[in-house]
Amino acid sequence: MRVLLTLMLLLAAPLALAADPLSIPAITLGTNAAGAQEYSVSLQILLIMTALSFIPAFVMLMTSFTRIIIVFSILRQALGLQQTPSNQILTGMALFLTLFIMAPVFDKVNQQALQPYLAEKLTAQDAIDKAQGPIKDFMLSQTRSSDLELFMRLSKRTDIATPDQAPLTILVPAFVTSELKTAFQIGFMIFIPFLIIDLVVASVLMAMGMMMLSPLIISLPFKIMLFVLVDGWALIIGTLASSFGGV
């Protein structure tokens, strides 16, 4: 976040210099009594509007979205359905399930950072630091220590004593790596029963001499029927939600 703020300041500086001198004071940087920098309201709005373009990356890489959408995609592949449910439906389901799972984290961010900032009890920089706390706690609870150690070793940082001190530049890739591994583990367990149905149907067709008939055509109704009978969507969604039990 600090790198983002610095980049935005560098981009905004030429515009401020080229503007009318009467409008320059609207975009100012100041230093308070504690020595921290404060930004004018106009500059804060500019930075916030620019940061909105990073929301998709934030949703995909710093929340539960990655695990959910991968499991849904593997489920659709296991069923043998190429376009049903559609990508839009799967993405919408994953997005709202992410909001449900991340609601406690967002509530903490709202209480600890957003509301004090709106009440002018915190500066922009302090609000950013406060907002990172709940998000980092969530990612640390879902990140494997081996993955975190891998990126700490690759970064060659020797000043990090505990996982809590890991910056987002190290924590985010470690979190994403852990989420990918967990998602594929869940997807593997989902794939097994449908694979067994495919093998049984293929064996029966071969025994009957119907080798020219695709087993997928015969097994698809049975897989859909099995998924519906066991209330598959409720099981999958419940499993995904409970897998983030530490939130």
User: What total number of domains does the chain contain?
Assistant: 1
Q: What is the pLDDT of residues 54-90, one digit of tens each?
A: 777 777 888 889 999 999 999 998 888 878 888 899 9
Q: Is residue 48 assigned to a domain?
A: yes
Can you tell me the mean pLDDT for 170-183? 90
Return the pLDDT at 81: 81
Return the pLDDT at 116: 82
Q: What is the pLDDT of residues 147-167, one digit of tens each?
A: 888 888 888 877 777 777 788
Q: Is residue 195 assigned to a domain?
A: no
Return the pLDDT at 180: 92
- Domain around 123: 40-184
Q: Is residue 2 assigned to a domain?
A: no
Under a CB-based contact definition with an 8 Å cutoff, are residues 109 and 94 in contact?
A: no
Return the pLDDT at 11: 40
Q: Is residue 78 assigned to a domain?
A: yes
**In the predicted model, is pLDDT for residue 8 greater than 70?**
no
Q: Is residue 138 assigned to a domain?
A: yes
Which of 8-12, 183-187, 211-215 is predicted with the least confidence, judged by mean pLDDT? 8-12
**In the predicted model, is pLDDT for residue 18 greater than 80?**
no
110-146 b/e with 16+ CB inside 10 Å = b?
eebbeebbeeeebbbeebbebbbebbbebbbebbeee
* DSSP annotation of 156: T
**In the predicted model, is pLDDT for residue 126 greater than 50?**
yes
Name the residue among 191, 178, 174 with its Cα closest to residue 73. 191
Terminal Cα distance for the chain, rounded: 23
Q: Is residue 20 assigned to a domain?
A: no
**In the predicted model, is pLDDT for residue 91 greater than 80?**
yes
**In the predicted model, is pLDDT for residue 235 greater than 80?**
yes
Q: What is the pLDDT of residues 23-58, one digit of tens each?
A: 444 445 555 555 555 555 556 676 677 767 777 777
Q: Is residue 151 assigned to a domain?
A: yes
**In the predicted model, is pLDDT for residue 199 greater than 70?**
yes
Return the pLDDT at 34: 57
Q: Is residue 8 assigned to a domain?
A: no
* DSSP annotation of 62: S
Can you tell me the mean pLDDT for 179-184? 92
Name 223's Cβ contacts closer than 8 Å, sequence gap at least 6.
Answer: 78, 79, 80, 194, 197, 198
